[in-house]
């Protein structure tokens, strides 16, 4: 008897966290993964080169541009986007199925467009949370302190931030990350409420 034909008690849900770069989303997502043992991270596929320390299948599924285009043609993605010229990111349907089969709810750390796409497909089965920085000025300071941006790339990133902040009202929940311990606690409540039948 195939696993598809067996009735399943587990109804997998989707948690989507989105934020402008530097708003603290990754810290919140890592905290939630440590807090909830029935939640697993959705590993995105990407065409960008692997960076030092990254592991294929753990940080991302690294695939060629040709393979990515073939997967698009074969309707293998839940959502995908060309984030920067030539750099595609997306969520494979097989990734969701794999996690649900393992009895896990799936946690996404993706951009606004991807979040909207998932919400439109999965409706009430998905919770979308927009992590908001206290202000663009605070965010700019955080990004400057990272020391990973040139002036030009910082300006480009901040322009994207301003655009993304306009989408926060389209999300199920907004989480202000002004004080990290409070934001972590609020994130836990949001997830617990959503996952509790």
Residue pLDDT, tens place only, 182-196 = 999 999 999 999 999
User: What integer is the mean pLDDT of 14-37?
Assistant: 93
Please tell me the distance from the alpha carbon of residue 118 to that of residue 116, in angstroms, as a whole number. Answer: 6
The CATH classification number of 14-195 equals: 3.40.50.300
pLDDT value, residue 161:
80
Average pLDDT, the chain: 89
| H or E, element range at 30 | helix 25-35
pLDDT of residue 71: 97
Distance between CA 95 and CA 176 in Å, rounded?
29
Quick check: pTM over 0.85? Answer: no
Q: Could you give the CA distance from residue 41 to residue 95 in angstroms, rounded to a whole number?
A: 10
Percentage of residues in the chain having pLDDT higher than 70: 95
| SS3 at position 22 | coil
Per-residue pLDDT, 156: 82
In this prediction, residue 5 has a pLDDT band, given cuts at 50, 70 and 90, of very low
- Please answer whether residues 46 and 61 qualify as being in contact, where contact means their C-beta atoms are separated by less than 8 angstroms: yes
């Amino acid at each position: 008897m195939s696993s598809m034909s067996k009735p399943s008690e587990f109804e997998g849900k989707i948690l989507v966290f989105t934020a402008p770069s530097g708003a603290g989303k990754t810290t919140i997502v890592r905290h939630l993964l440590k807090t909830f043992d029935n939640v697993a991270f959705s590993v995105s596929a990407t065409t960008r080169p692997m960076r030092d320390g990254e592991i294929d299948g753990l940080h991302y599924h690294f695939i060629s541009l040709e393979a990515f285009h073939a997967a698009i043609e074969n309707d293998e993605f839940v959502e995908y986007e060309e984030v920067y010229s030539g750099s595609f990111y997306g969520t494979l349907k097989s990734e969701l199925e794999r996690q649900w089969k393992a009895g896990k709810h799936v946690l996404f750390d993706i951009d606004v467009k991807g979040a909207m796409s998932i919400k439109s497909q999965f409706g009430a089965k998905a919770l979308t949370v927009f992590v908001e920085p206290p202000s663009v000025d605070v965010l700019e300071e955080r990004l400057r302190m990272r020391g990973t941006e040139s002036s030009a790339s910082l300006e480009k990133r901040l322009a994207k931030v301003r655009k993304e902040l306009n989408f926060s009202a389209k999300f199920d929940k907004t989480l202000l990350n002004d004080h990290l311990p409070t934001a972590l606690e609020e994130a836990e409540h949001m997830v617990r409420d959503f996952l509790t039948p």
